[in-house]
Amino acid sequence: MNNKKFVRVVAIVLAAIMLLSVVMIALTTLANTSASAARVTQEQINEKRAEKRDLERQKREIQSKINTIEFERMAEIAKKRVLDERITLTGLEIDNINSIIDYYNLLIREKEYEVFLAQSREEDQLQNFRNRVRDMEENGIISYLEIIFNAISFSDMLARIDFVADIMLADENAYYDLIRAREETQAAKDSLEETKEELDEEKEYLELKEAELLEQLDEAHELILSIEQNLETERQLHLMKVEDEARVQREINALVAELERERERERQRRLREQQRQQASSGGIVTGTGTLMWPASGPITSEFGVRRHPVFGDLRQHNGIDIGAPHGANVLAADSGHVITSSHNSSYGNYIVISHGSGITTLYAHLSSRHASVGDNVSRGQVIGLVGSTGVSTGPHLHFEVSVNGSRVNPRTML
């Protein structure tokens, strides 16, 4: 009976050790996987911080230009362009900080999971240690002596002594495992708190940058208002806008003509190759012919002839102005191919998309452009953010539609 009892005890002990080993291996694997993912996220944060430093360097260069005497001697429109560059860089800084905050939120979730795993390991080790202490209290040294004295031979006794030594070593290891588990839990908690503090710092920095952006916008708007209050300067400004609009339209017409030729060449290739879909060949995307609103907000200026509020003369407004807040998403009104992504003094940052069938759309005064020349964009895709770059006295989206080279009222296409 004693031998059978001993065998059962040994089997139970070995089974418990094996089960604990499996659990520890699984938890360690999960922890390593989590730690690996966190390291990747930390590398992404470091890359974004490098971008932040580069943007700060560019901002210092722009601010240095603004602080010079040469800036004061610049024409007002040239000054506005420099201020627009600074506003654009501040907007990119804000985008960068938001990306860092997103990464920190992911990192915090990873570290919270690490804390959970560490606490689980600590609880398992604590329960294992408690069970062993309880067993020692119930059996103590007598249990060890019984195992040794029940030996049936000298060699059996030596084997039993080794077995008891292994059990005692396991008891000691269980204690140290518990201590290590507690240290790992505390280290994971400390790391989590440190990451949360870094996140709070980034949020504070974001608030500062947003306040800085508002101040820069006010400065740029005041400059445009000052220009418009000067009769001669304002007339020169209007002439420049007319010339810019005409030049941009000529560029659009030339690009559309070339794009249509490319579409025809591609159509011929598809016919020869018997391809069913244009997109599958990586070709030029065309639209549906029906446009959607590119931004949310009221119409603050309609298409057509309007009278200037100060000088009273009639002027053609070739698009509609949508009163959206600074930084709001600008959406592609239809699927198409980006033929222009640029900046000029009148439109500021602007994008032109060709939708096929002679239809193009133009999105102006953007704070930032998220689409480049040659990109295929889908209907409703974010292509930029609302701003007030160029000749603009406040954040809004200037939206134009051209059909076969002539501007039309966008409302007729929406």
Residue for token pair 């077995």: 163
Q: What is the DSSP letter of 324?
A: P
Per-residue pLDDT of the chain (414 residues; tens, 9 = 90+): 444 444 454 444 444 444 444 444 444 444 454 444 445 567 777 888 888 788 888 888 878 877 776 777 677 778 888 888 888 888 888 888 888 888 888 888 888 888 888 888 778 777 776 776 666 555 554 455 555 556 666 566 566 556 655 655 666 666 677 778 788 888 888 888 888 888 888 889 888 988 888 888 888 888 877 766 665 666 666 677 778 888 888 888 888 888 878 777 776 677 656 544 444 445 667 788 889 999 999 999 999 987 765 556 678 899 999 999 998 999 999 999 999 999 988 899 999 999 988 899 999 999 999 999 989 999 999 999 999 998 888 899 999 999 998 999 999 988
DSSP track, 43-81: HHHHHHHHHHHHHHHHHHHHHHHHTSHHHHHS-HHHHHH
Per-residue confidence (pLDDT) for residue 230, from 0 to 100: 65
* Cβ neighbours for 402, distance < 8 A, ≥ 6 positions apart: 249, 252, 359, 360, 361, 362, 408
Q: Could you tell me the pTM of the whole model? A: 0.60
Task: Give yes or no for a contact between 391 and 224, defined as CB atoms under 8 angstroms apart.
Answer: yes
Q: Which tokens belong to 366?
A: 């953007």
Measure Cα distances from 136 to 142, 151, 258 in Å. Answer: 9, 21, 88
Task: Give yes or no for a contact between 363 and 399, defined as CB atoms under 8 angstroms apart.
Answer: yes
